[in-house]
Amino acid sequence: MITIVEEKDAKFITHAGSFHPDEVMATVLLEILYGDIDLARVAEIDEKETEAFVYDIGLGKYDHHQEDKVRRENGIAYSSVGLIWRDYGMQILEKLGLKDYLEDYYYDIDDQIIMPIDALDNGEGERISMTISSVISISNPFWNSHISGDEAFLNSVDFMRTVLNVYIKYLTDVYNNNELDWDDGYDWLDTVLKKIVLDTANEAKCFIFNEEGGALEMWDEYGEEIITYYNHTSKHAEQGVYDVKKMFIQPLSFEREETDEVTAYPVEQLAILLEHYHKNGEEFLKGILNTCIDSEVSRIQGMDYVEAQIDLSENHIMILEKFVPWKGTLLKSESNKVNDIYLTIFPSQRGGWNFQGVPISPASFDTRIKVPKEWCGKRDSELVELTGVQGARFIHPGGFIGGAENFEAIMELANRIVEYTENYKTH
């Protein structure tokens, strides 16, 4: 059992904010190994000052954010989950009651599940749509989500626990020469995808006048109505249809081409396994489609919110009361105020508030702000002394982002940066 606790009560510690497949699956492995997991998710940690098991943070034994990453013999860098699997994988398999083929289980699970997570988390391998890694990505709370980051994290742990358990069932059958019929599995997939799209259309109160074709055709037919139903407006619906199609419908509608690159385990294969062993593959896929639709609707609503905040901006500053992905909307906006905005401030996912400079262009690392060089790379008391802003936390060495403890402090810091930028432009 996993319980989210305060840092002082934690026996295990990982990072807060957006979660990723590596620490999610690592948490699953640690639960198998230790049973009860009293876990704290924190913004930062000094591993030397705690007796807790620390992973994916702190630059310790089970972190991978060091410049000199630990790598496998094949050159792929470990992430937190790979490091834990390397050291404890055999024990974990024994804890699961497995006795035969232990080495086969160990290497097969590493090859198909663990190593791809490692690779993608370290920016290696090939990212493709609709894998267990992309499911974790869209499972993070949306900007207007009704669940907390901790709740979403625990839900993702449940998902990864399912991934591991069903894949072990599959391997057990393989080792005992009971290989499932994948052709039948893909036939089932084609049928159920169409059913899921039509069921979703019915739930969105679409008038179903055509059922000719597969899931792709049904989505093309009813997708705009579905997105409009959940967004309560047709604004940006066409883009939403395209995005959900690209995210979910299309990748699962065709058997994937083999690649030499390392990729995460595909969702369609996981769904086939879940249907074969537990008869819940349809429920699983429907849940992911709903998440894709929810994420797209949230994105559309976020675009509308950012547009409204652009018009409310003052003194070259746009304020977001909740974090919303904002760069794309701002840079494409046709508002007459958009070119006057130098920076955006928003709540940090790790507590406090951040400022971030507006990029000069979508592909540029340069921003519209200028930050005094002596402030860049400084933190805490040193930064407070340099800026005169009580509560200032950090400014990145590149100067494009910084943070403070509260709204008042980030506003003061932002206004000072705006003033410096204006002076820089006139000299």
pLDDT of 218: 96
pLDDT of 427: 60
For residue range 238-252, list pLDDT tens digits in order. Answer: 989 999 999 999 999
Q: How distant, in Å, are the alpha carbons of 7, 76, 112, 321, 352 from that of 406?
A: 21, 40, 44, 12, 5
Domain ranges of the chain: 2-122+130-173, 182-261+275-300, 313-425
Walking along the chain (427 residues) 10 residues at a time, the average pLDDT comes out as: 93 92 97 95 83 90 85 91 96 95 96 94 88 94 89 96 97 92 95 97 94 95 94 86 95 86 92 96 97 92 92 95 89 92 90 92 84 91 94 91 95 95 80
pLDDT of 17: 85
